[in-house]
């Protein structure tokens, strides 16, 4: 076991709180996945297969192919080839994402990466086999400085290790953008236009890339990052987010609290 492995396997999990992030119950020491107790861990809600491959919007009543896109995504295709969002952004996962983003619980990124790799094991063996590169959605340097780390990078790096693919910083925020919350898709896209740039085009051109973020709503930020990767010659881009919040007009959208 290398020093890095030791750090991730043995030390980092200890840095999580001893009580469940979602319900405050004490956690049995050996079972610390995602900082949740066993009961809350069992309440994670995987997103079903009947979803638009562009924005993740639920599509009901059809037996649809995995690449099916809703009308809005067919009219304005995304720069990425597919979006995979693993779980609904609702309790208890919202508490995990909050911990990762705002409570300096960086090791939750490792836990999420492992759970994500497990959840999509079948796809990783088939359509996602042989990825060349894992990248993450960048934060503006000022926000990065304030938080001390980028939560998407904290998921991307261990996820890349799980997949045996290199992970590199090829995306940068060229300018800060106002919060996306509450904006409809067109406004989100305008908000982000030109905000994300690439570096080291030689790592991007011709590559099959996995683009990682922690949470997505309409896929606008992932789309902006994918647009930059595509302009640098990426051959294939799979966007992935641990959680997806319902977009405006979708069921339960109003009940979701986003920070």
CB of 25 to Zn ion, least distance (A): 5
Beta bridge partners of 173: 196
Contact between 37 and Zn ion by CB under 5 A: the answer reads: yes
Nearest to 177 by CA among 221, 242, 135: 221
CB of 90 to Zn ion, least distance (A): 14
Rama region for 120: left / alpha / beta (φ>0; ψ in -120 to 50; rest) = alpha
CB of 210 to Zn ion, least distance (A): 20
> Which stretch in 57-65, 102-110, 210-218, 241-249 sits in contact with Zn ion by CB under 5 A?
57-65
**Stretch 59-98 residues interacting with Zn ion (CB under 5 A):** 70, 73
Q: What is the largest CA-CA distance in the chain?
A: 50
- Distance, CA of 137 to CA of 150 (rounded, Å): 9
Out of 12, 16, 34, 52, the only residue in the binding site for Zn ion (CB under 5 A) is: 52
CB of 95 to Zn ion, least distance (A): 9
- Under rule CB under 5 A, how many of the chain's residues touch Zn ion? 12
- Give the tokens for residue 217: 């709503």
Out of 40, 88, 110, 167, the only residue in the binding site for Zn ion (CB under 5 A) is: 40
Contact between 20 and Zn ion by CB under 5 A: the answer reads: yes
Q: Which is nearer to Zn ion, 52 or 196 (CB)?
A: 52
Instruction: Give buried/exposed letters for 128-139 (b at 16+ CB in 10 A, else e).
Output: beebbbbbbbbb
Strand 236-244 versus strand 82-88 pairing type: parallel
Q: Which is nearer to Zn ion, 22 or 86 (CB)?
A: 22
Out of 12, 16, 32, 54, the only residue in the binding site for Zn ion (CB under 5 A) is: 54
Instruction: Give buried/exposed letters for 206-220 (b at 16+ CB in 10 A, else e).
Output: ebbbbbbbbbbbbbb
> Which stretch in 52-60, 132-140, 169-177, 234-242 sits in contact with Zn ion by CB under 5 A?
52-60
Contact between 247 and Zn ion by CB under 5 A: the answer reads: no
Question: Using an 8 Å Cβ cutoff, are 133 and 168 in contact?
Answer: yes
- In this structure, how many other beta carbons lie within 10 angstroms of the beta carbon of residue 253? 12
CB of 109 to Zn ion, least distance (A): 20
Q: Which is nearer to Zn ion, 22 or 85 (CB)?
A: 22
- Distance, CA of 138 to CA of 76 (rounded, Å): 24
Q: Is residue 164 within a helix (H) or strand (E), and if so which, with residue range?
A: none
Write down the H helix ranges in 29-139: 38-41, 71-75, 93-102, 108-119, 121-125
Contact between 34 and Zn ion by CB under 5 A: the answer reads: no
Out of 17, 23, 59, 169, the only residue in the binding site for Zn ion (CB under 5 A) is: 23
Out of 8, 12, 16, 22, the only residue in the binding site for Zn ion (CB under 5 A) is: 22
Task: Give contact residues for Zn ion (rule: CB under 5 A).
Answer: 20, 22-23, 25, 37, 40, 52, 54-55, 57, 70, 73
């Amino acid at each position: 076991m290398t020093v890095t492995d030791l750090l991730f396997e043995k030390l980092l999990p200890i840095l999580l709180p001893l009580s469940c992030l979602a319900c405050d119950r004490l956690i049995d020491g050996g079972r610390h996945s995602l900082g949740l107790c066993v009961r809350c861990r069992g309440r994670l809600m995987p997103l079903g297969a009947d979803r638009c491959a562009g924005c993740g919007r639920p599509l009901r009543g059809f037996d649809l192919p995995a690449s099916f896109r809703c009308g809005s995504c067919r009219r304005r295709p995304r720069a990425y080839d597919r979006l995979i969002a693993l779980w609904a952004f609702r309790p208890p996962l919202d508490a995990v994402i909050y911990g990762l983003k705002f409570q300096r619980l960086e090791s939750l990124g490792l836990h999420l990466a492992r759970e994500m790799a497990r959840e999509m094991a079948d796809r990783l063996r088939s359509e996602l086999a042989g990825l060349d590169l894992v990248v993450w959605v960048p934060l503006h340097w000022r926000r990065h400085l304030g938080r001390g780390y980028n939560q998407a990078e904290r998921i991307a790096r261990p996820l890349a290790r799980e997949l045996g693919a290199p992970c590199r910083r090829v995306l940068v925020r060229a300018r800060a953008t106002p919060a996306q919350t509450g904006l409809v898709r067109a406004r989100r896209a305008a908000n982000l236009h030109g905000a994300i740039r690439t570096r080291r085009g030689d790592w991007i051109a011709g590559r099959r890339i996995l683009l990682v973020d922690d949470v997505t709503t309409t896929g606008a930020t992932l789309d902006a990052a994918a647009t930059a990767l595509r302009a640098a010659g990426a051959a294939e881009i799979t966007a992935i987010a641990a959680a997806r919040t319902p977009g405006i007009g979708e069921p339960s959208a109003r009940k979701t609290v986003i920070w």
